[in-house]
Amino acid sequence: MNLIDYLPVVPDFPKPGIFFRDISPLLANPIAFQHAIDQMSLLALEFEFSHILGIESRGFIFASALAYRNQKGLALARKPNKLPQASHRQSFGLEYGNDSLELQQAALPADAKVLIIDDVLATGGTIVAAKKLLESAGFRIAGALSLLEIRFLNGLQLLNQHQIEHKTVLTV
């Protein structure tokens, strides 16, 4: 199955000049979604981890399925002001602006070793921010996993600079 067939490009979204990969068709097709999770689960086996961190919002979908499949705990990296309890915060830049991620302070046990999950590796800023967020909270990082890498945005270079091992199912 060629998963890229289920990830169409939407030009000029969320702003002009950005080519957005839409995961909705993949999620709408149960066979394609199952195949994506199967492939991500196989890659996850290459890491040693106790918990998964899903990055808001599309990373939540893949992270929750992987946590279930791999019987691991799940924590969520949320956009600012979405968490009800005390949280850690990390700001970062995107290819189309700036943002922040937050992690609830009580989300993970002290000895957690965390695999970061996002749907797409673009510039790498979001995954680097998630790593910094986890490290500032005292957690160890196992690595990162994405469904898709957009190679021309050079996100893998940034992850390598921050010593983040990364695996991906697809590269375009």
Point out the residues that are catalytic: 58, 95
Helices (H), the chain: 24-28, 30-44, 58-70, 125-136, 155-161
Distance CA 97, CA 169 (A): 26
For CA atoms 116, 119, 122, 126, the dihedral sign is negative
Distance CA 93, CA 10 (A): 21
Retrieve residue 59's tokens. Answer: 């990373």
Retrieve residue 151's tokens. Answer: 């190679």
Retrieve residue 52's tokens. Answer: 């998964």
DSSP characters over 114-158: EEEEEEEESSSHHHHHHHHHHHHTT-EEEEEEEEEE-GGG-HHHH
